[in-house]
Structure 1
Amino acid sequence: MRPESCDLAIAGCGLAGGLVALAMARLRPELRVIVVERGAALGGQHLWSFFASDLPQGAEALADALTTARWDSYEVRFPSRSRVLATPYRTMSSGRLDAAVRAALPPECVITGVETTAVTPTSITLADGRSIAAKGVLDARGIPGLPHMAGGWQKFLGQRLRLAAPHGLAMPVVMDARVEQTDGYRFVYCLPFSPTEVFVEDTYYADGSALDLPLLRRRIADYAARQGWQVDSCEYEESGVLPVIAAGDFNAFWRAGQAGAARAGTRAALVHPLTSYSVPDAVRFALHLTTLDNLSGTRLERASHAWAAQHWRKGRFYRMLTRMLFGAARPEARWRVLERFYGLPKPLIERFYAGRSTMADKARILAGKPPVPVGAALASLTGRGRPLASLDGSAA
């Protein structure tokens, strides 16, 4: 078949790939961009949440296109502390991403329902035999694990519930750790989308990646019952297992890609090492790519490598905290680390989630009496955690 051609081809149109496509359409409209997604819909079936303070200056317009819900504050709940923080909180949806990308690109530039079988710096080959020739290719397909890295897992099941009566939540509950602590640090996350609609997610910071969906569904039902909520229906469900990075060999990780194409998102390890948040890095990287004057295959790969390597270097402090969380605290007592953290000043917490902690922030986080044994904390700094090469925790 005759190959299609473009300036930039993006393999995988989830959050990272979709934001690059939107940023290019807004800021580099002279470029022809083609996106390829194996699913029928762009973005799959996901919600992505973030704090307004996460975004760099000038990014609001890009994020607004995908945002479905906004709140002025959020709440956290722990056994010995609850707190409301006046930091605006936002949620994006895959449905909005799908609509926004389709509105921004010509119909022939959005290819869905077909697997990408091969990627090079200047081409994408599809399972149906088609090929796309491009000046540059960006591989934004998600990967289930991170070879040559180690740590733990953040895993979850979330359901959007329709209730028979109002739930009474005035704002998101980002962490409710007043639940039974099983399989690591467990908390419940609630997003009130309307008086009678709430998204409830059961989340774990766990050593293993196994996800028992029937068990988590029962736990969500039990949580709703304890709140006094009568559930009429479950409108939507999503689940996931995200890497929490404690250590790794970034250069070996990058070489393991082999394709030689530029990368974005999880495939470039562009996530917060401890929280697994991806929105801030996805937005920053998308905007950065629009400033490049040369998007050719080799140059684009070098640019993505340089950006990802810098992100890795900046994440050293957060990887150390991951080692302490997983290595120093007993699984059932990890909530104490987060409870103490949420007693710190609000600006510090905001900078932490944005991945912009200052030296003073880092000193404050580590100062004082630690919520874990000092000996265990020191010993954890020499550890790595379990391999993150695959979802079952096995080595690559």
Structure 2
Amino acid sequence: MPSFRHDIIILGGGLAGGLCALSLARERPDLDVLLIEPAERIGGNHLWSFFGSDIAAQDKALVEQLVAHRWPSYDVSFSAHDRHIRQPYHTIASERLDEAVRAVLPPDRILRATAVAVTPNEVELDDRSKLAATAVLDTRGLGGSAALHSGWQKFVGQLLRIPAGHEVERPIVMDATVDQSDGYRFVYCLPFSATEIFVEDTYYSDTPDLDRSLLSGRIAAYARSRGWEVEHVEREETGVLPVVTGGAFNEFWPAEDQVARGGVRGGFFHPLTSYSLPDAVRFASWLGRGAPLDERLGPATRRRAASHWAKGRFDRMLARMLFRAALPAERYKVLERFYRLPTSLIERFYAGQSTAWDRVRILAGKPPVPINRAVRAMLENK
């Protein structure tokens, strides 16, 4: 039996777990917080970007120290139109998350280990040792995915070194002028300096299989099409994220499961974009500013997750339109049309704060997909 009891154990040192640790250290520094992460580095090897409007004013201090790059605006590009959007855009580097967490947690409160069994108050590790806590929070990534109906967003991103320069002044959040024959695809570009640019090839697919070599080849081809001579690749990351079209919340998170969840483990992400940062920040702020850190934490996080699931019904319907109403080669038309809408609506959509009027505006007019397929996708009650 464990002889020592922590105030809270956080399982998983990704974005959600790291932000929770930072929030607790900031708002409730008297607590004994233990973070368990099997990887060597908190946050792994990732870049997370967000729009300026995604983070509430009272939460900006939580992420400010993590921002590695920032720009005053960004671009999107489709075959039918280009658009420059005057909205601040920021990128967080996992290296900064690692540094920030290690600065607030003592070395013995960051444990490199793997949890094999979890209860609301106890964690068993793979060496059979057990750790006790007043509360346990599980942020280890998506669980219960069999209960979700989804397509997939898949990507490979590379930081390219281009000695002659790339001449990209601001982020290109979506360049969808690339080939669309396999489904909605776009290239994402972040200019970190005059000679460094992060290029990510992303596409929406019906299957989760990731062909890393294929996407790496696409990035090389894109660089050639821009006239860039790449000296070398400085970093690379990959991802396969769910685009949720439906499912059953009570199967994803059964009522009898009393272990608290955060991050994508609890379903706290945007169903259509797979975007989790705004929800991770909101959750971490809530945790630090008043969440019950005892046996009530599990039910409290499940209630937040159920509310988030209900709120995402419209976005799941849009995801069904993308995957089931649009033919693969024409899926881009859904996003192309979306980016003709007002900037304020786009901002609220990405932040997961769409209003009822926003939803009317998104659906108004002739749909960019076959009408009969659009109606069937809309009427599915999942």
Give the one of 343, 360, 368 matched to 1:363: 360
Aligned to 1:58: 58
Distance in 1 (alpha carbons) for counterparts of 2:296 and 2:181: 47
Q: Secondary structure at the match of 1:157?
A: strand
> Is contact 1:73–1:88 with CA below 8 Å preserved after alignment?
yes
Give the alignment's Cα RMSD to 1 decimal. Answer: 1.6
Aligned to 2:280: 282
Q: CA deviation at 1:4?
A: 4.3
- The letter for the 1-side match of 2:376 is A
Q: Secondary structure at the match of 2:145?
A: coil
Distance in 2 (alpha carbons) for counterparts of 1:183 and 1:271: 25
Per-residue deviation, residues 165-207 of structure 1 (Å, max 9, x unmatched) = 1110110000000101133101000000111101100001111
Distance in 2 (alpha carbons) for counterparts of 1:130 and 1:4: 12
Q: CA deviation at 1:293?
A: 5.7
Distance in 1 (alpha carbons) for counterparts of 2:148 and 2:40: 31
Are 1:143 and 2:142 matched, yes or no?
yes
> Is contact 2:144–2:252 with CA below 8 Å preserved after alignment?
no
TM-score (norm 2): 0.97
Q: Secondary structure at the match of 1:159?
A: strand
Q: Secondary structure at the match of 2:292?
A: coil
How many residues are matched?
382
Aligned to 1:389: none
Counterparts of residues 1-396 of structure 1 (less than 5 Å): 3-112=3-112, 114-143=113-142, 146-255=145-254, 260-292=258-290, 294-296=292-294, 298-383=295-380
Consecutive unaligned residues in structure 2, runs of 5 or more: none
Which 10-residue stretch deviates more, 373-382 or 151-160?
Answer: 373-382
> Is contact 1:265–1:282 with CA below 8 Å preserved after alignment?
yes
Q: CA deviation at 1:318?
A: 0.6
Q: Secondary structure at the match of 2:58?
A: coil
Residues 219 and 355 (structure 1), Cα distance of their counterparts in 2 relative to 1, 3 Å cut: same
Per-residue deviation, residues 282-325 of structure 1 (Å, max 9, x unmatched) = 000111112336311x3000110011011111111111111111
Consecutive unaligned residues in structure 1, runs of 5 or more: 386-396
TM-score (norm 1): 0.93
Q: CA deviation at 1:360?
A: 1.1
Distance in 1 (alpha carbons) for counterparts of 2:196 and 2:381: 41
Aligned to 1:390: none
Q: CA deviation at 1:30?
A: 1.2
Q: CA deviation at 1:121?
A: 0.5
Q: CA deviation at 1:147?
A: 2.2
Q: CA deviation at 1:130?
A: 3.2
Q: CA deviation at 1:384?
A: 8.2
Distance in 2 (alpha carbons) for counterparts of 1:163 and 1:150: 41
- The letter for the 2-side match of 1:69 is H
> Is contact 1:47–1:94 with CA below 8 Å preserved after alignment?
yes
Per-residue deviation, residues 259-286 of structure 1 (Å, max 9, x unmatched) = 6310011110100010100000000011
Q: Secondary structure at the match of 2:134?
A: strand
Q: Secondary structure at the match of 2:95?
A: helix
Per-residue deviation, residues 325-372 of structure 1 (Å, max 9, x unmatched) = 111111110111111110110000000000111111111111012111
Q: Secondary structure at the match of 1:290?
A: helix
Q: Secondary structure at the match of 1:381?
A: helix
Distance in 1 (alpha carbons) for counterparts of 2:166 and 2:275: 27
Identity %: 54
Q: CA deviation at 1:66?
A: 1.5
Q: Secondary structure at the match of 2:24?
A: helix
> Is contact 1:327–1:383 with CA below 8 Å preserved after alignment?
no
> Is contact 1:3–1:131 with CA below 8 Å preserved after alignment?
no
